[in-house]
Amino acid sequence: MGPRPPDILRKSHAHSDGKTRAKDRQTLRDALDASLSEPAAGRALLIDLDGVVYRGDEPIPGSAETVRWLRAERIPHLFVTNTTSRPREAIVGKLRDFGIELAVDDILAPPDAASTWLAARGARRLLLGVPAATASAFDGFDTLTLDEMAESQRSAGATGETQNVDAVVVGDLGRDWTFERLNAAFRSLMREPRPLLVALGMTRYWHAPDGLRLDTAPFVMALAHASGVEPTVLGKPSAEFFQAALDRLGVRAAATAMIGDDIRVDIAGAKAAGLKGILVRTGKFRPGDLKLGIEPDLVLDSFADLVTSAQ
């Protein structure tokens, strides 16, 4: 018989020093045993990917075994990511290389959530500030790239008419951001009637193989500040994104815990949406995260500790 599945999170101070030493095993087990206000059968996990299951192009040790354990114990779970640099199909292939077999629908990503949300609001024409690899999520719309819009704006001149769009969608373009592309998005947001500004997540930075890199939020905030258009966030940490994940699993917020490495996006976002938050000390985690006034319900050294703590 395998390890007993954790009854994810009791209110506890097992996380107070952020460590999961062997001598603290029983305390950690207690923390995992009985916190959620739901029957055990209704409990679930949302799991971040980059920084939790893998970091860059390397799996985090024990992650494949932990995923297999979750399946063996029939613990409902869904992988939720703010990654917009690649489609879900590519993420599935990457995970397969790490020994983790997933279906595309086992992952919830912002482009798919945004496409559904925009269609429901009658949007037809979009300006896409997203990588080419994820643009396919918006195939049901009339779309323009930032380069196409910039060329249209140049051709029109300072007072000419350019193409209106219903929404400007911003994801993680990374090194592909240029002044011209950012300015094309800004100019589009200044046209009347003002389009929506849709952010595919509000992650500030991420841990790349060569160190920390800016993510989507800084560019969204630049556009929002300049244009005065408030962004609609359709990725973590928005409550709408967490609700979409809960709806996918068919569970309630009070029955669910979010496992992530980002204290603001994963933990604060989840708790604001009514979920519990489990912080892992991998990925972008920094010791100073525990001094920001955001209180995780539990801190684990890694995703793999979810299994070892239940033994």
Domain residues of the chain, as ranges?
Answer: 22-82+239-308, 121-233
- The contacts of residue 119 (CB under 8 Å, 6+ apart) are 140, 141
Three-state SS sequence of the chain: CCCCCCCCCCCCCCCCCCCCCHHHHHHHHHHHHCCCCCCHHHCEEEECCECCCEECCEECCCHHHHHHHHHHCCCCEEEECCCCCCCHHHHHHHHHHCCCCCCHHHEECHHHHHHHHHHHCCCCEEEEECCHHHHHHHCCCEEEEHHHHHHHHHHHCCCCCCCCCCEEEECCCHHHCCHHHHHHHHHHHCCCCCCEEEECCCCCEEEECCEEEECHHHHHHHHHHHHCCCEEECCCCCHHHHHHHHHHHCCCHHHEEEEECCHHHHHHHHHHCCCEEEEECCCCCCHHHHHCCCCCCEEECCCCHHHHCCC
Residue 159's pLDDT is: 57
Q: Say how far apart CA 111 and CA 226 lie, in whole Å.
A: 24
Residue 270's pLDDT is: 97
**Going edge to edge, which strands form the sheet with 167-170?**
142-145, 125-129, 167-170, 196-199, 231-233
pLDDT in single tens digits along all 311 residues of the chain: 444 444 443 333 344 344 443 334 444 445 444 444 444 445 899 999 999 999 988 999 999 999 999 999 899 999 999 988 888 999 999 999 999 999 999 999 999 889 989 999 999 999 999 998 889 999 999 999 999 999 999 988 765 567 899 999 999 999 999 999 999 999 999 999 999 999 999 989 988 888 899 999 999 999 999 999 999 999 999 999 999 999 999 999 999 999 999 999 999 999 999 999 999 999 999 999 999 999 999 999 999 998 865 55
CATH architecture of 22-82+239-308: 3-Layer(aba) Sandwich (3.40)
Q: What is the pTM of this model?
A: 0.79
Q: Say how far apart CA 261 and CA 206 lie, in whole Å.
A: 10
Residue 35's pLDDT is: 45
Superfamily of domain 121-233 in the CATH hierarchy: HAD superfamily/HAD-like (3.40.50.1000)
Amino acid identity at 198 = V
Domains 22-82+239-308 and 121-233 share a fold: yes
